[in-house]
């Protein structure tokens, strides 16, 4: 398995959309319910953000999408992290976080932030295990949210 930076050609956009749509139901609520359109989401992330993907013999095994372009606050924002069921518990998610950390350091970022729902305890435990700390909690549309942050 290897991690690569996935640049944004048209073919790659289609592949990213297919992966995100395929694993949408692994999120609670499904990822597709959080965005107006997967196509628009991928277009925006391809235009302003970065994708790193984990490749295995069967294709894409996992993916992280993030924005490392806040040059004022020097903060990277993780927008998407997903590993297919087959490759969970293989350290792939940790490798994707490491790729994000390395990319962020190269872009002179000082922190990485991610938001999730408070009921997503699996994700919260994962981020805490990977040196993130809880920095904020709030309620939006009746749903408890949490922000985690890692210093670089």
| Residue 152 resides in a domain | no
| Residue 127 resides in a domain | no
| Residue 79 resides in a domain | yes
CB-based contact 102:140 (threshold 8 Å)? no
| Residue 148 resides in a domain | no
Q: How far apart are CA 67 and CA 49, in angstroms?
A: 4
| Residue 30 resides in a domain | yes
| Residue 44 resides in a domain | yes
pTM, two decimals, is 0.88
What the block records as the tokens of 107 is 């872009």
Domain that holds residue 70: 2-112
CATH number for the domain that contains residue 15: 3.40.630.30
**How many structural domains compose the chain?**
1
| Residue 69 resides in a domain | yes
Mean pLDDT, 10 residues at a time, over the chain (152 residues)? 68 81 82 86 88 86 94 96 90 96 97 94 96 97 94 98
* Residue 129: half-sphere exposure toward Cβ, Cα within 13 Å: 10
């Amino acid at each position: 398995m290897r991690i690569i930076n996935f640049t944004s050609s048209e073919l790659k956009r289609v592949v990213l959309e297919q992966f995100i749509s395929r694993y949408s139901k692994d999120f609670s609520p499904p990822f597709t319910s959080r965005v107006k359109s997967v196509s628009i989401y991928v277009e925006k992330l391809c235009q302003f953000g970065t994708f790193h993907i984990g490749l295995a013999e069967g294709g894409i095994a996992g993916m992280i999408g993030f924005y490392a372009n806040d040059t004022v606050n020097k903060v990277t924002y993780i927008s998407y992290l997903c590993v297919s069921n087959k490759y969970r518990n293989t350290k792939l998610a940790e490798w994707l976080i490491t790729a994000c950390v390395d990319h962020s350091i190269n872009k002179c970022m000082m922190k990485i932030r991610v938001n999730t729902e408070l009921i997503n305890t699996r994700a919260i435990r994962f981020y805490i295990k990977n040196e993130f700390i809880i920095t904020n909690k709030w309620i939006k549309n009746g749903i408890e949210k949490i922000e985690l942050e890692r210093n670089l």
